[in-house]
Amino acid sequence: MKYHQALVVGAGLAGLRSAVELNQNNINVAVISRVHPIRSHSLAAQGGINAALGNHPRGKADSTEKHAFDTIKGSDYLADQLSALKMTQEGPRRIREMENWGCPFSRTSEGLIAQRPFGGAGFPRTAYATDKTGHVLLHTLYEKAVQLEQASERQNFVFYDEYFVMDLIIDEGKCVGVVAMEMRTGKLEVFRADAVMLATGGAGRMYGNTTNALISTGLGMSLAYRQGVPLKDMEFIQFHPTTLLGSNILMTEGCRGEGGYLVNDKGERFLANYPDSAKAMEVAPRDITSRNMTREILEGRGIGGKDYLHLDLRHLGEKKITTRLPGIRDIAMNFVSVDPIKEPIPVQPGQHYTMGGISTDDSCATSIPGLYAAGECACISVHGANRLGGNSLLETIVFGAIGGEAMAKYIEGGGASKPGKVFEQALDKVEKELNELESRKKGESFAEIKETMASTMAEKVGIFRDETQLSEALKIIQNLKERFKKVFIPGPGGSRSFNFGIYNILDLGGNLDTAECVIMGALNRKESRGSHFRNDFPNRDDEKFLKHTVYSLEGEHPCIEYREVGLGLWEPKERKY
C-alpha cells in the first residue's frame, strides 16, 4: 500500500495546479493519471483564457466585476454569483503567474499578454497563445510540476503516470484513498491518502458528436456519484458552434473572435436573421449561436441542404490566419483537406463541455470530507446553464489552486487517515468485479452499447429537446444500463497489462451514469435556460427553475432534488445581447 498525504487524480490543468499548490503548502502529494500528464485533454483548448487584464486597447475599462457579470449573464443566471466573482477576481493573478512560470502567451505591441474578443464578453479579455492556449498552458504547468518534483528531495511530489483509478475508498464517511491499476503490469494497488482531489475532466464521450478526447468519459464523476456524492446541473451540456464536419474536432471560437463569418448555403451571414444574435453576430454566446446554426440546418439551409455550415476565414487574409490561427489551418488541411486561406471550413455544432459535474462548494470540497473536485468534472458552479468561452481554462487554474489550498488546510487540520481493514476490503471488491468481467466470455456487445448511447444522446438529447424525445432517450439509456451488466471484452482475452478492454468498459459505465443524469435533469427541467432548450417549454421560468438540479444515486438510478442558486450581486434579468 502506498501512502501520500494528498492524491490528485487527473493531470490536466486543474489537477496539476492543485498538486503544485499542495506542494507549495508542504504537503506530500502524488498525481495519478491514466495518461502521461502531457496527453491530458486540457491541451486541446485553443482560443484562450479570460481575465480582466486590461491589456487590449479596448479593454482599459474592463474589471473583474464586469467579467463576473458577463459570466453570470452568460450562465443565464444559474451560476452562483459569489463563486463566479471569486473566479474572476483571482483570474488576473493566476494568469500572470502562469506567464511568470514560462507560458508563451501571444503579446501586445507593448509586450504584455495579448487578449482577443470572445463570445458574451463585454471587452476583449481572452488571453491567448495563437490558437494553442491549452497546449502551452498544460506544457508550462507540467514544466513547473517537474521542476518541483526534481527539487523535492524527499520525494514529496510524485507522479504515477498510466495508473487507472478504479474506485474511491471511504472510511467512516471520509475519503481516505483510491484503488488504482498500474496499467503496465495490470496490478491493482491501494493508495492511502488523507485527502483526494478529483480532476478527471468532462463526460463528453457520452455523445457521438463531441469535441472531447477519447478519455473524457465522466468516469471520475461517476466514481464520486457511486459513493454518494451528488452531481449537479448535468442537463446543461454545451454545444460548441464550430466543430469540424465528421470528426467534430474543435474549431476555436477564436476563429470568430478574429473576425470569421458563419454562412449558410445561400452565402448569407444568417446570424443577422435571428433577434438574439443579430447584434453580436458571430461572437454571440455559444448556446445562442449553436441553436441558430441548428435552425438553419433544420430549415434546409445547410451547405447543399446537408447538416453543416461554412466557417469562412478567407477575408482575414493569409497573414492573420497563419499567425493567429495556425493550428486551425493545420487541422482543416489534415482532416478535411481544406485550406482556410482558400476555402471555407465545413462546421457543425457539437457537444463540447459538461457545465455540470460533482457538486462542490467554492473551495472545491464535496459532501464527503477529504474528497475534493476541480475543473470540468466539478460543478462549483461558475458556468451555470452556459459557459462563456475562455472561462473553462480560467476555472482550472483558479480552482485548482483554491482546491489545493483547501486540501492542505484540511490535512493540516487533522484530517489524517489511518491504516485499516477498509483498504483491503476496497481492493477485494475491485478485484472481484474485475474477475467477474474477465470471466464473461459472451454477453452484450461493448461496441453496440457504446454506439447506441452515443447516437441516442446526439439525436435525442441535443440542442433542441422535448418531452417525447427525452423520454425515449431515458428508456434507451436505462435499457443499456441493464445490458451493460452483461457486457464482455471482445476477443480471445489476455493479460491485464495495458488491457484496454477493461478501461473501455469502465469508461462506458461512467458515461452511462452521466448520460442518465443528463436526461433525467433535462426531462424534469420544464423550461429553457442557457444551453438547455425545450421546444415544449421555450421560455425561462425563474419561479420554478432558478435552481440547481442535484442528483443522488438511489438504488441504481438518480434521485433529483433542487437547490437554491447563490444570488445577491445581480438580479436575474432577461438575457439579451
Partner 1 sequence: MRKEYTFKVLRYDPARDRRPHYQSFRVPYTEAMTVLDGLFYIQYRLDGTLAFRNACRAAVCGSCAMHINGKYRLACETQVTHISRGTVCIRPMSNLPIMKDLVTDMTKFWEKYRYIEPWLIPGKPAISNAEYVQTPDQRINLDLVVDCILCGICTQSCTVTATDENYLGPAALLKADRFISDSRDSATFERLDLIDSEHGLWKCHTIYNCQLLCPKKLNPTGAIKSLQRRIVHRYLSYNEPSGRD
User: Catalytic site residues?
Assistant: 240, 256
Closest distance of CB 180 from partner 1, Å: 17
* Whether the bond into 381 is cis, omega within 30 of 0: yes
For helices 421-439 and 500-524, the axis angle rounded to 10 degrees is 100
Q: Which three cell numbers stand for residue 324?
A: 493567429
The answer to whether the Cα torsion of 156, 157, 160, 165 is positive or negative is positive
Closest distance of CB 468 from partner 1, Å: 30
Q: Are 371 and 175 in contact (CB under 8 A)?
A: yes
SS3 419: coil
Taking only Cα atoms into account, the Rg of the chain, rounded to an integer number of angstroms, comes to 23
The answer to whether the Cα torsion of 55, 57, 60, 65 is positive or negative is negative
CA gap 422, 177 in Å, rounded? 10
- Tell me whether residue 43 or residue 560 sits nearer to partner 1 (CB atom): 43
Which position has the grid cell 479570460?
A: 50
Closest distance of CB 442 from partner 1, Å: 13
Closest distance of CB 228 from partner 1, Å: 30
CA gap 291, 293 in Å, rounded? 5
Closest distance of CB 431 from partner 1, Å: 18
Q: Which three cell numbers stand for residue 57?
A: 486597447
Closest distance of CB 202 from partner 1, Å: 13
- Tell me whether residue 351 or residue 386 sits nearer to partner 1 (CB atom): 351
DSSP string, 229-284: PPEE-TT-EEEEEEEETTT--B--THHHHTT-EEE-TTS--GGGGSTTTTTTGGGS
Residue type, 568: G
Beta strands in 156-222 (DSSP E): 157-161, 163-171, 174-182, 187-198
CA angle 202, 94, 20 (to 5 degrees): 70
Closest distance of CB 80 from partner 1, Å: 26
- Tell me whether residue 330 or residue 428 sits nearer to partner 1 (CB atom): 330
Instruction: Give the Cβ contact number of residue 259 at 10 Å.
Output: 15
Closest distance of CB 505 from partner 1, Å: 8
Cα–chain center distance at 167: 21
Q: Are 530 and 75 in contact (CB under 8 A)?
A: yes
Closest distance of CB 323 from partner 1, Å: 8
Q: Which three cell numbers stand for residue 266?
A: 445561400
> Cα–Cα distances in Å, from 63 out to 92, 273, 459?
10, 32, 40
Environment class of residue 542 by beta-carbon count within 10 Å: exposed (0-12), middle (13-18) or buried (19+)? middle
Q: Are 511 and 473 in contact (CB under 8 A)?
A: no
- Tell me whether residue 162 or residue 459 sits nearer to partner 1 (CB atom): 162
- Tell me whether residue 24 or residue 108 sits nearer to partner 1 (CB atom): 108
CA angle 453, 392, 222 (to 5 degrees): 40
Nearest to residue 357, comparing CAs of 227, 199, 209, 239?
A: 199
Closest distance of CB 179 from partner 1, Å: 21
- Tell me whether residue 125 or residue 232 sits nearer to partner 1 (CB atom): 125
Closest distance of CB 452 from partner 1, Å: 13
Residues in the chain: 577
Q: Which three cell numbers stand for residue 246?
A: 465528421
Alpha-helix runs per DSSP H in 25-154: 64-74, 81-100, 133-151
Residue 374 CB-half CA count within 13 A: 36
- Tell me whether residue 178 or residue 213 sits nearer to partner 1 (CB atom): 213
Residue type, 507: D
Which residues are near partner 1 by CB under 8 A? 35-36, 38-41, 43-44, 92-93, 96, 99-102, 104-113, 129-130, 132, 135-136, 139-140, 143-144, 146-147, 150, 184, 213-215, 246-247, 249-250, 327, 330-331, 334-336, 445-447, 450, 489-495, 497-502, 504
